[in-house]
Chains A and B, each alone.
Chain A
Amino acid sequence: MPLVTDDLMAPDVMTDPHSYYRQMRELDPVFFNERWGGWMLTGYDDVVQVLRDPDGFSSDRMRFLARELSEADRQRFAPIFDVLSQWIVFRDPPDHTRLRIVLNKAFTPKAVERYRPRVRAIVGDLLGEIEGKGRMDVVRDFAYLVPLTVILGLMGAPDLDRDLIKQWSEQLGVFFFLRADEPRRREIACEGVTSLVEYLTPIVEEKRAHPADDLLTALVAAQERGELSEQEVIATCVLLVFGGHETTMNLIANGTLALLRHPDHWERLKQQPALIESAVEELLRYDGPVKATVRWVKHDVTVGGKTLRDGDRALVVLSAANRDPQQFTDPDRLELTRSPNPHVAFAHGIHVCLGASLARMEAQEAFLGLTQRLPVPVVATDELEYHPAVVSRALKALPVEF
């Protein structure tokens, strides 16, 4: 009998992954999980080592998935392969490097700072509608609308239907976030990705005909310079709308929950908005939106004294690293002024989140707005439910009253 369950989807693990991964780290920080079929890395130093080593660890998820599927299934799920195989997050150098250099310009800390007034206005408008109501679902009424409105604005497609995009993104996310409980997950993801491609393609063509000062035009221009392929342009559009809101939505929702469970922290942030930068870093560390990321071993490599073999896969548990007591003092404590705070919520190394600066800024504006405008809310349900997923930390809903 293992001392700790090897079922990554167990209800307790979904509700409280932090306790689970703490036990796992204490038991064995480099653990081979037979049931999942791969290594689980839960110690800070090991996680950083792996994330900084793209020569030893591949991110090419679609290539490894293709090996597991029959030819018929590869055909059946072609829409997923066609799009996701082009995503920067699932590519290794040199393609990863080429894409990153093209995309990076729009997401540097300096570039992102220019969007702050727009984000502040979006947050203000939303809270203006919310504050008189006395209740909201933080996920539905606030957390998804902020980042999705922002990314559509940056892309130069502000009029797209946000509810449709959310619905299709959720379908795609069923695959992406390892929703192992859903037997039709690949079919559902195919529907989502096909809908997104069909919806976004004419928008890209529109930019080709009428260039503007926005991200989609920059992608089209990069294609015309020969830096991106046509498939990469459309796949990147799908990634931007999906990645541009899904994870930030969860950051805002998880952070709001953490703050309202610590009402003294909510009040403190209200009194001292200058704490917002370190507060957001701490909320990322404490209960970030991405619990884990997956890598595939490219050649035998030693991690924490064990040998990981060519072809093995590894679950790199970011949220466990973020609570490793060897790295963080009193790691289970929320401490808004924690410094230094070298969390790995955005991962590390060449795949460090492209949108990290944007997500930080959006979260800063969201939590500033919430704490300034609303009294400390209380959760208006007996039981909070998370989407059953290994990778993402995603509340289904967060109903609150205030």
Chain B
Amino acid sequence: MSTSQRLRITVDLNKCVGSTICVQLSPSVFALNDQRQSSVVDPTNDTAANILEAAEGCPLAAIVVQDAETGQVLFGAKDAAV
């Protein structure tokens, strides 16, 4: 299922420790890169609810989810909208 709202999803690799929680909660959006850190493979490939749950589940709060159109931060660091 895909989301109707276009999302911009960012993983802060300085924070990501490779817990893989996001990969478990939204496996069609997140995958591990060759450093075994999270990367976004397809931001459209899940519901917004699942993606937000994955972001919220991150133990390091390394994931920021924004509305791709408006830049509004839907989850994550408030200073992320740049």
Contact = CB atoms under 8 A, between A and B. Distances in A.
Interface of A: 52-53, 97, 100-101, 104-105, 107-110, 340, 342, 346, 348-350, 352-354, 356-357
Given A109-B58, A342-B14, A350-B20, 13 more contacts: A52-B18, A52-B35, A97-B20, A97-B24, A105-B57, A108-B57, A109-B60, A346-B17, A349-B20, A352-B17, A352-B18, A352-B19, A357-B61
B16 to A, nearest CB: 10
Given A52-B36, A101-B24, A357 B14 contact: no
B24 A108 contact: no
B56 A101 contact: no
B11 interface: no
B56 to A, nearest CB: 6
B21 interface: yes
Contacts of B35: 52
A131 B38 CA distance: 46
A348 B57 contact: no
Nearest to B35: A52
By Cβ-Cβ distance, the 3 closest A-B pairs, closest first, are A52-B36, A109-B61, A348-B17
Contact of A104 (B14, B21, B36): B21
Nearest to A105: B57
Contact size range, B: 10 to 19
Nearest to A357: B59
B25 interface: yes
B60 to A, nearest CB: 8
Contacts of B61: 109-110, 357
Given A109-B61, A349-B36, A100 B21 contact: yes
A352 B59 CA distance: 8
Contacts of B14: 340, 342
B37 to A, nearest CB: 8
A356 B18 contact: no
A228 to B, nearest CB: 16
Nearest to A109: B61
A222 to B, nearest CB: 15
A110 B53 CA distance: 11
Contacts of A97: 20, 24
A108 B60 CA distance: 8
A349 B59 contact: no
Interface string B53-78: 00011111100000000000000000
A280 to B, nearest CB: 14
A352 B58 CA distance: 11
